Amino acid sequence: MYDQTAGMTYLGALWKLLPRVKLGPTPSILDVGCGTGINILEAARVLGPCKRLLGVDLAPGMVEEARKKAAAAGVPATFVVGDADALEVEEGSFDLILCNSVYHWFPDRRHTVAGFARALRPGGQVIINCVASPGFDEWISVVDAAWKKLFGTPRDWVPPLPTPTELMGDLRAAGLFVEHLEYELDPAPITDAQAFLRMMTVIAPTWVAGVPPNGARAFMAAVTQGLAPMAGRPFMVTGAGVASVSRKMN
Ligand SMILES: C[S@@+](CC[C@H](N)C(=O)[O-])C[C@H]1O[C@@H](n2cnc3c(N)ncnc32)[C@H](O)[C@@H]1O
């Protein structure tokens, strides 16, 4: 389900950025927030034999799925449960770090990226692709309004999204040279609210976290109503993303 909904979008970012990476033979690659492993497995397919392929993710279910996928594909990748904020890897040991669609969830991004820089060898590169401000603002407002109306209490279910400038600042503060950065805004109509809600439940499950069981039906109805067309025009949600490639200089 996850790979069918979000996976293909995320792989698009990888395909776009991977040609900007210059690697020697048999690189070591670390995939942070690897999910089901699609990025590192695709990188291995594109790049050929690698010395080491390691994926790290907080969620044991994702790690389990990634292990199954690697085994089925015959790729010698290792996947472990771990926190991006406290990577248990040797300093200077990776040629490439992938971090696709995770960075916006990190609570202390500057600290986490400093850990990436430590894990890279001098000259190594990091790909970060993430949701950026003001991505999904219209959708976030609908969820917040439904929550306030029904439950009355404030709730933090999505961290403030990074701006491209913030991402650039975090990379530079970690001693990384930003080689490429692109920012994309993509407003799209919501033509099928239920399909959109199913997708958001897969990629951002925090939107339903903490909903009291006896309020779930009303919450769903209020959010669905909030996404309805108005005056014959579909509800629009603006996707916003920032994609970058950076290098550790020394
Ligand atoms: C939207 S998914 C992206 C997965 C994968 N990178 C992809 O492109 O398909 C976000 C993933 O980040 C993981 N994650 C979130 N915070 C994390 C953290 N602090 N450390 C490691 N993984 C994290 C989640 O468990 C989830 O699998």
Please identify which residue in the block is written with the tokens 């799925």: 65
pLDDT band at 9 (very low <50, low <70, confident <90, very high): low
Question: Whole-structure pTM over 0.75, yes or no?
Answer: yes
What domains can you pick out in the chain, each with its CATH number? 2-136+159-187+238-248 (3.40.50.150)
Per-residue pLDDT reduced to its tens digit, 15-37: 999 999 999 999 999 999 999 99
Per-residue pLDDT reduced to its tens digit, 84-122: 999 999 999 999 999 999 999 999 999 999 999 999 999
Residue 58 Cβ contacting ligand 1 at under 6 Å: yes
Residue 136 Cβ contacting ligand 1 at under 6 Å: no
Query: Two tokens at 39?
Result: 């990025």
Residue-wise DSSP of 12-26: HHHHHHGGG----SS
Residue 204 CA, closest ligand 1 atom number:
1
Kindly report the number of other CB atoms within 10 A of residue 74's CB atom. 6
Residue 101 Cβ contacting ligand 1 at under 6 Å: yes
The predicted pLDDT at position 5 comes to 52
Residue 35 Cβ contacting ligand 1 at under 6 Å: yes
Handedness of CA 18, 23, 26, 30 (dihedral sign): negative
Residue 10 Cβ contacting ligand 1 at under 6 Å: yes
Pocket test for ligand 1, best of 39, 99, 102, 129 (most atoms within 8 A of CB): 102
Measure the CA dihedral 217/220/223/224, to 10°: -110
